Amino acid sequence: MSALQNIRKGLSSTGSSIIVAILIFGLVATFGGFLTDPSAPSSSPLKINGKSISFGEFNLEFTRLSSIFSDNDFSEEIISEIARNSIISKELVYQKALDLNMNASEDFINDLIANDISFQTNNEFDTVLFSGYMARLGLSVNDYREIVKSRYLAKSLNDFITQSEFSLNSSALNFIRATNQQRSLSFYKLDLNKISAKENVPDSNILNYYQQNQFRFIEPKKAQLNFILLDSDSFIDSVQITEQEILDERNFLENENQNSQTRVSHIQLSYSSSEEKEEKLNTASNILKELSGSKSFESFAIEYSDDFGSSNNGGDLGFTDGTIFPEEFEKEIKNLSVDEVSQIIDLPGSLHILKITEKNEVLLTDNKIKELILSNKSQERLNKILVNIEDNFLGLKLEKLGTELNLEINNTRLFDQNNPPEELISFNIFDDVFNQDLISTEFFGPYEDNEGNFLLYEIINIKPETLLSRSAAEPEIKKILQFEQAQETILKDLDKFESKAKEKDLSEFISYSLIRRDSSLLPDSVLRDLFSVTLDEPVFISKQDDGDVYVARLTRIKNSNDLAKKEDIDAAKNSLKTLTSRTYLDTFFKELESNSNIN
């Protein structure tokens, strides 16, 4: 029987529908559906204790990891290194599993592959599909079966180690008490910024630093622009609106929008014969009579309407703009007001009763209509001017454009690329501006931003990048030298305050009483140090990333004597089990690696 036939045979086995998904030191390895990525390395010179890892296995792992990290900017070299470490992890644990006489039968491995949905078509193992994958990977069926086996046994040993760990109730209680422990301390903070501000720097030091580091103090390239901003509001003041235009616009809006916001409900009574139609007509007539009583239209729709799409919603059909429903409906809708009910509408095969439930009629004031007209006319004026500019003014200066079209020209201050004029930021022009070295002979634009505004500009001044003078650079140099001196001052003060802490001379120290591990009163690193020292050696130094230094003394420890709930004990046991198993796994793997030959 061939290897492929063996795998197909696995489909008839019972109790084994596992898709292999192996967790090895935080890396998930799933099998099936991974083809050789054209960017993956073409070779894998990896040997583990004399066993050569095939190119196909390496490419399989490389492609899997590439898909996991697809949203991250990881280079091929980094992914290749992760793939290498992943394979080493798996293979070392697998080889240890074999040393411990762990095994998986051929039928079991066949089962795993046969039930991998990546190799199935219409829920059946597809031999052609599987063979294609193997060909692309450069693997034989037995090669792939060996990969599946190695990862399965590695996972089994990994799970055994993890699950064999346990924690006692007493350990869990100690863990809870340690977590809830409170500690008191006294500390002195050596604040780098405050110390820096007090440092005196001689002028000679500033001059010497400037002479040695002039290249660090640069006045950036600067530019100054003339510009014209255009938007539809630019022309509102020049637009005139007559009373007749307002009236015409109102009539247009009322005609155009008469039914655009009309919501309709209906009761539908379908029939398939003339006798049934008579019966439904009687029912519809009775409904119309009873609608004047206390029973609502919605109740009748739920009870009688056979339009199952709307009856449960009280007959609601939603909104119409006058074109959605049959012509007979739309004609009736135009003549109905809100809460008014129609007469019976007869369509082929069904009878209908309509009700208007909502109608948002045009209720615009003259001022609102005037604003609409102004906006439209101003936009038309803007469009004409933009066409005029592109047809007649390209290659000219802004002065000519402004004079001819009566447009306002503004100018900016001198600015650098890191501090551009706020009103021009949305146009994203500054890369282009600072690529120029000459004053403009013509304007640039028009440029449009996301808000429909337009910009035309020209460069009227360019100031090249230059070295700062000593006086201009002095404030920055002074801060640099103050910072350097402050770091030296802190080292001197550190010895002094550490001695005070050891001698319990805490008069200058700040004291906090009974704070917890999750306190917000101190930086996390100080809290970690605080809860790692003992009363036998209570003094500690905690250096911060920002240069601050805490000199502290632990003064009291208060253990929690509260009774722990069962769920808290169980959670603590699980946490301890996880921590212990991770520590053991790490030690276990390091030992395997140290005794192995990997090249």
pLDDT tens-digit readout, 12-32: 333 222 223 333 333 333 333
- The DSSP symbol for 100 reads T
Helices and strands (H and E) in the chain: how many: 19, 20
Report which of 122, 144, 124 is spatially closest to residue 11, judged by C-alpha positions.
Answer: 124
Selection from 57, 63, 31 nearest residue 155 by Cα? 31
For the chain, give the percent of residues with pLDDT over 70.
82
Half-sphere exposure of 196 (CA within 13 A, CB side): 16
Main-chain phi, psi angles of 38, to 5 degrees: -60, -20
Q: What is the pLDDT of residues 107-157, one digit of tens each?
A: 899 888 888 888 888 888 888 888 888 888 888 888 889 999 998 998 888
Q: Which two tokens stand for residue 572?
A: 């603590």
**Looking at this protein, which amino acid is placed at residue 596?**
S
Alpha-carbon gap, residue 83 to 43, rounded angstroms: 13
Q: What tens digit of pLDDT does each residue of 373-408 get?
A: 777 888 888 889 899 999 999 999 999 999 999 899
Q: How many CA atoms lie within 13 A of 276 on its CB side?
A: 9
Highest mean pLDDT among 78-87, 436-445, 586-595: 436-445
Name the burial class of residue 83, with classes exposed (0-12), middle (13-18) and buried (19+) by CB atoms within 10 angstroms of its CB: buried
Residue 305 has pLDDT above 70, yes or no: yes
What is residue 94's three-state secondary structure? helix
Go through the chain and tell me how many residues it has. Answer: 599
pLDDT of residue 60: 83
**What residues contact residue 353 under an 8 Å CB cut-off, 6+ apart?**
266, 267, 284, 287, 288, 341, 342, 343, 344, 345
Res. 259 pLDDT band, cuts 50 70 90: very low
Rounded mean pLDDT, 40-58: 75
pLDDT score, position 256: 59
| Alpha-helical runs (H) found in 223-351 | 243-256, 274-290, 297-304, 327-334
Buried b (16+ CB within 10 A) or exposed e, 486-524: beebbeebbeebbebbeeeebeebeebeebeeeeeebbe
The residue with greater pLDDT, 330 or 503, is: 503
Q: What is the DSSP annotation of 311-339?
A: GGGTTEEEEE-SSSS-HHHHHHHHT--TT
Over residues 554-558, mean pLDDT: 93
444: β partners = 457
SS3 27: strand
Q: Is 46 in contact with 52 (CB distance < 8 Å)?
A: yes
Three-class secondary structure of residue 126 per DSSP: coil
Higher-pLDDT residue of 87, 71: 87
Give the residue carrying structure tokens 């049959």: 326
pLDDT value, residue 220? 92
- In a 3-state reduction of DSSP, which class is residue 463? strand
Closest of 262, 255, 250 to residue 321, by C-alpha? 262
578-587: string of b/e by CB count within 10 Å (b at 16+)? eeebeeebee
Structure confidence at residue 480 as a pLDDT band (50, 70, 90)? very high
Q: What residue has token string 């505004």?
A: 453
pLDDT at residue number 45: 58
In whole angstroms, give the CA distance from residue 231 to residue 228.
10
Instruction: Please give the full DSSP string across 148-213, using - where no structure is assigned.
Output: HHHHHHHHHHHHHHHHH----HHHHHHHHHHHT-EEEEEEEEE-HHHHHHH----HHHHHHHHHH-
When pLDDT is cut at 50, 70 and 90, the band that residue 566 belongs to is low
> pLDDT value at position 207?
94
Contact 488, 547 (CB under 8 A): no
- Cβ atoms 23, 40 nearer than 8 A: no
Q: What are phi and psi of 91, to 5 degrees?
A: -70, -40
Instruction: Report which residue type is found at 235.
Output: F
End-to-end CA distance of the chain: 37
Q: What's the pLDDT score for residue 76?
A: 83
Rounded Cα–Cα distance for residues 50 and 598 (Å): 8
- pLDDT of 273 higher than 50: yes
Looking at per-residue pLDDT, the higher value among 172 and 21 belongs to: 172
What would the pLDDT profile of 232-241 be if each residue is shown by its tens digit? Answer: 777 777 777 7
d(CA 517, CA 532): 11
In three-state secondary structure terms, 553 is strand
pLDDT at 576 over 80: no
The pLDDT tens digits of the residues spanning 418-462 come to 999 999 999 999 999 999 999 999 999 999 988 889 999 999 999
Which of 462, 458, 437 minimizes the C-alpha distance to 447?
458
pLDDT score at 128: 85
How large is the average pLDDT for residues 520-541?
93
Backbone dihedral angles phi then psi of residue 554, each to the nearest 5 degrees: -70, 125
Query: Which residues have C-beta within 8 Å of that of residue 421, sequence separation ≥ 6?
Result: 225, 412, 413, 415
* Mean pLDDT (whole number) for 556-560: 85
Average of pLDDT values for 358-378? 75
Mean pLDDT, all residues of the chain: 82
Which residues lie below 8 Å from residue 99, measured CB to CB, with a gap of 6+? none
Q: Which residue has the higher pLDDT, 53 or 261?
A: 53
Name the more confident of 6 and 225.
225
Instruction: Please state, as a whole number, how many other Cβ atoms lie within 10 Å of the Cβ of residue 376.
Output: 13
Give the C-alpha separation, 296 to 283, whole Å.
Answer: 16
Question: What's residue 388's pLDDT?
Answer: 92
Taking 90 as the threshold, does the pLDDT of residue 196 lie above it? yes
Q: How large a percentage of the chain has pLDDT more than 90?
A: 39
Average pLDDT over residues 177-183: 76
Least confident of 299-313, 357-371, 557-571: 557-571
Token digits of residue 502: 């050891």
Nearest to 218 by CA among 430, 412, 417: 417
- For the CA atoms of 583, 588, 591, 593, the dihedral, rounded to the nearest 10 degrees, stands at -100
Confidence tier at 494 by pLDDT (50, 70, 90): very high
